Structure 1
């Protein structure tokens, strides 16, 4: 049996999913969208739970929200499990009504009854069940209370199809439903009442579905006639507004019958915290302060000791062990050098930074799961609006801190085409995790006492440059109206250990997978470029093909502080993936049994040129995967090449200001 899990955003759907399923598997993304397709196995090992995106209505505003309607129209499943927030009952029931109208068996999980109680709201599951005609079970998904009972209810008990005509929408709407039902006779297995109501509300997915079954002109005439009659009879502005009002009237009666309210004695803790962290004056400094502490933990207090220990293991026992195995097998000098100087040095040079990346992902997961990240978007809305965007555009940028690819894809949630394109173009300026090994290498070598401050400055630099460019682009090449920003602030929650582990691992395993495949192959190829040259094989490194390639761009890089073939080679290979910059440097600068790479870097860079190099890495051409994603999302070669060209120009301009300006100010 397959059961679909639905609910509004921030109703505890993920916690409920984790509590009901004994195991889970990620099945990529839903077709054409960024939303993850997640299927869990119930603890009885027989039934499956399909986690659908959090939505407020089956009438979608974005492609990501359209996943649910498309699922209802094209997929086969047996039951619906609807989770609702007891403290926000009236708003949540709008989705519930639409699910009941779909006609499949429904079970309701009444979540956050503890939160509702603290707010003076007592909801009766029995009265709610009686009013809706479907089973209702109270749960506290965060700690698992009541989840076993809910699981038995949805899996073991037979639940009949709900009554789809709970609401009388009035003569005009009901006649239109009857007319569409007559036209659809024998043409669909779906509830014709649900299809009709969704069509009359303006659901474009349902409209396209019905257009395949009924003459589109007939549909257009029908909806126009109904809208005119409803406007004339009831004085409403639109048909969907009228349907919404009828549902709201019905829901108000249910809420009145099923809830008991007591006077709220104190302001909830969540509201008191929000008064501080979303304050228009101190909200951003608080966010920057949290980021600074996060970077201290990542790059100094916890991260560097762990990375140093891992580096010691890779460069010591692991390398010695591999050399012993190679000697025992009688490997040739070529194979020995390829494995030790190429693969181990290249891949190992990236792997040593895994602890820092995992730590950073962990703290980002903490901020997400606690509910704070939604507050960051709210705080940023005023600034984003001033540059032609809104706070929703900052969410893909935050995602871009982990990886630019899903960040670019997350722009699909933005409704207006102009803002969506602008967000796609600017998200690659966010400092992704692939750049972290570069930062870690240079701050460890040149900024030992200021690691967190330097890394924070780079993150801030990326955001500031993105905002300035947003203002320029929105005033010139991408003019258009800015949409309104609406976001629900979830209640603050103490993150669960299991959820944190899953979230951190899901973010970190992509980095490890890349190290074991792409970077592995890249390191071998880069070493071969250092081994061969125009004059033959086993040439001095500065006579190799890699030196020739890097030497082409080296003169251009001179004014920004790092005009060497080594830097040029690293930047070129970094287009494949930013981690490959570290692999390339480890191979180029690798000296067996001598100083670490950080110590060697002092011979080639100064603190000023090192900071200029990091700023250039932050801003220059996005990696190959991000470029491919930009092309896929925009469908335009013009905008894809524009994203590469402007990034390269702005990176050079900023690095030039940093290096030449620093020299004028006396920095070295």
Structure 2
């Protein structure tokens, strides 16, 4: 049996999915986290549960919302679990009525009853269940209360027991009957649901019906229906919405009791401060600065030093002794010690800092604060041709650009979606973090948090400037309206916080064991081989030959060495590989030695120029593949490579040459 999980954004849908199936999906306190369907098996093994994107209506506005309608049109779903936010019952019931019209049995999970109570609302659960005609289970999606009961109810075989039916008036009801004749049993999907979705303007349903009854009949049906409502002075969509609204209001009068009016909640009091037009941005920047202080100063650096000591000391000695005991050849010994351990270990040193970064971001996400950041950024984003909703994928991009690009599906207009995708690689993802850590340890140990904050702020400024240029040149088009739900603040649970941090961090570890491992072997091999044969000097290797081609080009931006050029090439595979390559090229035993060496090779100014270049130059291979998948265009994928490389060079040139003119070094 296949059960679909549906609900509004921010109702706890993904948390419920995790409790019902025992799996873990990314949980963020904003709309658009679930950007495609995810399938899990109920813990009781009786059915599959399909987690679909959070939606306010079945009429899709964005690409991720269209996933829901497309799934329902496939007709595989046998039951529906509808999660409802008790504190926002009015809005949630609009979707519930549409799901009832779909014609499949429904089990409802009533979540956030405690939040509703905080707003002074009490819900008569049994009364609502009788009126709707489906079982309603009070739950807490955050801690799992009631989830077992909901799972048992959802996996039982039961028929559609709906007691409620919306009367849409004579004109629309007659249209439903006409459509039933036109379809003539060509589909098992409810004709009533199909007709109402069509009249609301659901383009996905329109294409489905087009394939069933043909364009001529479908267009004649729409024209006749439009003609019949001319005297009402309202559109078909308005008539459908108002009919549902009347039913929702009747339900609320019978089941919702307002015990306290105008109660000032904790959330509303905090929002007065963090969304204030004067305080909102300084608060966000201060939190980012706090995050970088934890990462680079107070906690992260001491932990990274411990990992570095373990890898360069105990692990290297143990592996070296093991290879000696196995009588390994000099080639194998050099490959493992100088290639694999130096390359992969040089990246793993920064794992504690990466996990601290992810932990802090996860805390902000699950607390509900990140939605406020999108609201604060809205006016700034609007001035650049975007809206605050585009900032949500960009915040996700701080962790990794790949899910950020995918999250752009939540944006309604095609132009803004494409623009967001093209801008996302400029967001400073965690893969660039080891590069920052390397140069901060070498040059900026006393004010590392401030330097990294400047890099992150620069990434946002670049996004805004480039967005403005693109929206007045190659990507002119319509603008969407910005709306976002601000969920109540919650203290993240330790379990959810750890799972969220681990889910992000394990991707970094996975890359270290795959891309970085493979890259380290290739880099070391290219440094070991040369035109003169094997075991050549580093300056005579194939790797040096490639780097020397790029060195003159990089000279004007402050790092015209073959070593820098060769390292940057590896960044296309994964940005972390830049540090891995440097460990191998300079043949240093630990991170401290590499940082000391960097202080002789670079200057503070050239190191900052290098970090800015790393920030902006070409997307990594995984991000580029995702851009192509999301846009379906080789042209835009190539454009993202070309213009980001040009912009990176221009910005690094401006910083380095401008800094020299100002007397910096």
TM interval, shorter chain, is over 0.9
Q: Please list every run of at least 4 consecutive aligned residues from structure 1 whose deviation after the TM superposition is greater than 6 angstroms.
A: none
Q: How does 1:379-528 map to 2 (within 5 A)?
A: 379-528=376-525
1:168 and 1:595 map into 2 onto residues whose CA distance is: 74
Tell me if the contact between 2:308 and 2:591 (Cα under 8 Å) persists in the aligned partners. Answer: no
Shift of the 594–4 alpha-carbon distance from structure 1 to 2, 3 Å rule, reads closer
Match of 1:38 in 2: 38
1:617 aligns with 2:614: yes
For residues 538-561 of structure 1, the C-alpha deviation after alignment (integer angstroms, 9 at most, x for no partner) is 111011111111111111211211
Match of 2:625 in 1: 628
Match of 1:371 in 2: 368
1:218 and 1:47 map into 2 onto residues whose CA distance is: 39
1:445 and 1:594 map into 2 onto residues whose CA distance is: 10
Match of 1:337 in 2: 334
Find 1:538's aligned residue among 529, 535, 552: 535
Find 2:272's aligned residue among 269, 275, 284: 275
Give 3-state SS (helix, strand or coil) of 2:108's partner. Answer: strand
Give 3-state SS (helix, strand or coil) of 1:434's partner. Answer: helix
Deviation at 1:497, TM superposition (A): 2.0
1:192 aligns with 2:185: no
Shift of the 399–185 alpha-carbon distance from structure 1 to 2, 3 Å rule, reads same
1:154 and 1:111 map into 2 onto residues whose CA distance is: 16
For residues 251-307 of structure 1, the C-alpha deviation after alignment (integer angstroms, 9 at most, x for no partner) is 110111111112326311111111111111110110000011111111222211121
1:421 and 1:265 map into 2 onto residues whose CA distance is: 42
Match of 1:599 in 2: 596
For residues 74-98 of structure 1, the C-alpha deviation after alignment (integer angstroms, 9 at most, x for no partner) is 1523321111111111100010001
Give 3-state SS (helix, strand or coil) of 1:254's partner. Answer: helix
1:377 and 1:592 map into 2 onto residues whose CA distance is: 44
For residues 146-188 of structure 1, the C-alpha deviation after alignment (integer angstroms, 9 at most, x for no partner) is 33333333335x5320338701111111111111112223311
Give 3-state SS (helix, strand or coil) of 1:49's partner. Answer: strand
Structure 1: 5+ residue stretches without partners: 27-32
Match of 2:181 in 1: 182
1:504 and 1:25 map into 2 onto residues whose CA distance is: 12
1:349 and 1:251 map into 2 onto residues whose CA distance is: 60
Match of 2:168 in 1: 169
Shift of the 24–185 alpha-carbon distance from structure 1 to 2, 3 Å rule, reads farther
Give 3-state SS (helix, strand or coil) of 2:600's partner. Answer: coil
Q: How does 1:123-142 map to 2 (within 5 A)?
A: 123-142=123-142
2:535 and 2:350 map into 1 onto residues whose CA distance is: 30
Match of 1:565 in 2: 562
Tell me if the contact between 1:385 and 1:482 (Cα under 8 Å) persists in the aligned partners. Answer: no
Tell me if the contact between 1:101 and 1:164 (Cα under 8 Å) persists in the aligned partners. Answer: no
For residues 54-106 of structure 1, the C-alpha deviation after alignment (integer angstroms, 9 at most, x for no partner) is 11111111111111111111152332111111111110001000111111111
Deviation at 1:36, TM superposition (A): 4.5
Tell me if the contact between 1:6 and 1:83 (Cα under 8 Å) persists in the aligned partners. Answer: yes
2:4 and 2:499 map into 1 onto residues whose CA distance is: 21
1:78 and 1:631 map into 2 onto residues whose CA distance is: 34
Q: Which has the higher contact order (CA 8 A, sep 6+)?
A: 2
1:589 and 1:291 map into 2 onto residues whose CA distance is: 33
Q: How does 1:4-23 map to 2 (within 5 A)?
A: 4-23=4-23
Tell me if the contact between 2:289 and 2:449 (Cα under 8 Å) persists in the aligned partners. Answer: yes
Match of 2:233 in 1: 235
Tell me if the contact between 1:439 and 1:614 (Cα under 8 Å) persists in the aligned partners. Answer: yes
Give 3-state SS (helix, strand or coil) of 1:260's partner. Answer: strand
Match of 2:69 in 1: 69
Q: Which moved more, 1:405-414 or 1:530-539?
A: 405-414
Q: Which moved more, 1:321-330 or 1:372-381?
A: 321-330
Tell me if the contact between 1:231 and 1:239 (Cα under 8 Å) persists in the aligned partners. Answer: no
Tell me if the contact between 1:100 and 1:164 (Cα under 8 Å) persists in the aligned partners. Answer: no
Match of 1:108 in 2: 108
1:461 and 1:91 map into 2 onto residues whose CA distance is: 39
